[in-house]
A and B are shown apart, each in its own frame.
Chain A
Amino acid sequence: MNLFEALRMAANGLLANRLRSALTMLGILIGVTAVILLVAVGNGASVQINNQVQSLGANVIYVYPSNARGSGGVSQGFGTAQTLTQADVDAINSHQQDPDVVAAIPIAQSGGQITYGNQNYFAPTTGTTTDFPLVRNYQVAAGSFFTADDVNARHRVVVIGQTVVDNLFGATDPIGQTIKINRQSFRVIGVFAQKGGSGLGSQDNVVVAPITTVWAYLTGSRGKVISQIVASASSASTVTQAETEITTILLQRHQISDATLADFQLQSQQDILNQATSIATALTLVLGAIAGISLVVGGIGIMNIMLVTVTERTREIGIRKAIGARRRDILMQFLIEAMVLSGLGGALGIALGALLAKEAPSIAATSSFPTPVVSPSSVVLAFCVSVAIGLFFGIYPANRAARLHPIEALRYE
């Protein structure tokens, strides 16, 4: 008996009970749809995170103050330390020990209500120095960035991102306008070119001012706090060397001999990317596993129906055996029936899953929902798994059919 005949027999068997076949197939269809869709969502989230982190710059290194340790080894809470100083930034920028660092900037953060006319908006205000566009990879689209003079003289000037422009100014040209941050007046001297990105915090929702100005007018009693230092390596491939160099400089300056007791910690964009990727991978796995459970349930449905089918068709099996079907022929017939059920259900599930993945952004209707990405590997895997499920859950019923004794099967009413 060749494969074509076996397929034709299976098709006849399935078509004899259309509704039942369709419902059984539905179990696998739903399972495969869920797998395709959820894995696509996981992949989409992964791609989105990746793009965001890349848009921050792959060669950026962050230095955070870490737990300051006293001589008794008493650890204080994260973020309580104020161990980073302007002198640290200057030492890194002196480029005597760190050829792989392009520039470093101090960052002082301040939140605050921003108003312009009767519009108001909330955006974090970042105090920094003139290398900010270079290090953070920002372009100034209109006006200009502030100068060293502005920093030295604590001029109240700001450069703002496109999101802030949209929310405060609408169609008005913001350059030269005066906005108020925490009731202090600042003049807008530049607007950044749009960077895109969302979710983790838009790169365009920024207000940047000279760090001295932020210290003087916004951070108030907290004084000259540097919440982090941002440095850029000469390229993505020199990030690791640059990290080592910065660590050496800071350990020396802070007079710490044991690197494990450092009062600062470094994080590169690559580290964040790795973390984000591993989270996204775990997410995809969890989603896939949940969907996989429904696939197994679908498989049990197939087994159930195949057992019913074998019992119902006992007499037919007897006839087939009487006219010369071997065990193998009967086994093949029912196995192929189960595999056609699951394979067809799988194929339809893939089509439905891909369609839903394509339509998901418009259904969800929020821009922050990651666009699902259906990977070819998940399609191939889902199809193979669904056929394998048919095989696995079909073996027992098919074997039961194949082992029927012809006389008893013929006598069965």
Chain B
Amino acid sequence: MITLEGVTKTYRMGRIEVPALQGIDLHVGQGDFIAIMGASGSGKSTLMNILGCLDVPSSGRYLLDGTDVAKLGDDDLAKIRNRKIGFVFQSFNLIPRTSALHNVEMPLIYAGEGGRTQRAREALGSVGLADRVHHQPTELSGGQQQRAAIARALVTNPAILLADEPTGNLDSASSVEIMRLLSNLNAEQGRTIVLITHEQDIARFAKRVVELRDGRIVRDERTAP
């Protein structure tokens, strides 16, 4: 599903080169639920951006669903993000003043696919928001907004779901609710999920934990089959 081979990423800040990732080798199989952990500055956000095709590695190979995306241009990356990746962000990132339904339809609009409203309703239904489709983000609680965001991530039926600190802005009850939802998606629908977090409690929901430090993988441990 996902294969990283010797991926490095170096940022330039003026004259100084800052190595964010220093050779990552990682394989994530179909149906896996992996948590990437690390302190701030460990490179986990950079890894997340590369996994999400928002950024390209400085060197190395990144195979996503059989495609080497390391060398793709902007528009092709946009297409990959649209079709193969579902994002869930810490701050939900729903588009303001736009109904939950329209937010969930958005990826389908960019994909140019039909039956949008029906599919968006189904996605919202699957995260338990069937009765909130016409609510705007400001009319939803944090947990509900994050569930709408998950529906938006799922609606294109992507190869992987990338969740970047999905519970960072939620209270503990909502956090557990969201993590259960992700676990269920993994267990029942076989969704491949990559979770980024720095909280042990949250990482426990995953089946495998990878820990980063200074741009390198220092631990890779399977916690559940």
Contacts and interface: CB of A to CB of B under 8 A. Distances in A.
B115 to A, nearest CB: 14
B129 to A, nearest CB: 18
Interface string A1-39: 110010000001000100000000000000000000000
- Consensus secondary structure, chain A interface: helix
A5 B109 contact: yes
A161 to B, nearest CB: 71
Contact of A324 (B49, B82, B93, B95): B82
A323 B94 CA distance: 11
A326 interface: yes
Contacts of B156: 324
A380 interface: no
Contact of A406 (B54, B75, B97, B110): B54
A322 B81 contact: yes
B132 interface: no
A407 B51 CA distance: 13
A407 B78 contact: no
A410 B83 CA distance: 19
Contacts of A315: 93
A318 B87 CA distance: 12
B91 to A, nearest CB: 9
B54 A324 contact: no
Contacts of A1: 109-110, 112
B97 A12 contact: yes
A328 B75 contact: yes
A283 to B, nearest CB: 48
Interface in B80-127: 81-83, 87, 89, 93-98, 106-107, 109-112
Interface string B149-182: 0001000100000000000000000000000000
A327 B74 CA distance: 8
B77 to A, nearest CB: 9
Given A1-B110, A407-B49, A326 B95 contact: no
A329 interface: yes
Nearest to A6: B109
Interface in A299-321: 315-316, 318-321
Interface string B33-73: 00000000000000001001011000000000000000000
Given A315-B93, A410-B93, A323 B106 contact: yes
Interface in A179-225: none
B112 A326 contact: no
A19 to B, nearest CB: 15
B88 to A, nearest CB: 11
Nearest to A2: B112
A325 B95 contact: no
B98 to A, nearest CB: 6
Contacts of B109: 1, 5
Given A316-B96, A323-B81, A329-B110, 11 more contacts: A1-B110, A2-B112, A319-B93, A320-B110, A322-B87, A323-B87, A324-B83, A324-B111, A326-B78, A327-B74, A407-B49
23 contacts: A5-B109, A12-B97, A315-B93, A316-B96, A319-B93, A320-B95, A320-B106, A321-B54, A321-B78, A322-B93, A323-B81, A323-B82, A324-B78, A324-B82, A324-B83, A326-B78, A326-B79, A326-B110, A327-B75, A327-B78, A329-B110, A406-B54, A410-B93
10 closest A-B pairs (Cβ-Cβ)? A324-B82, A324-B110, A326-B78, A323-B107, A319-B93, A326-B75, A406-B54, A16-B97, A324-B81, A407-B54
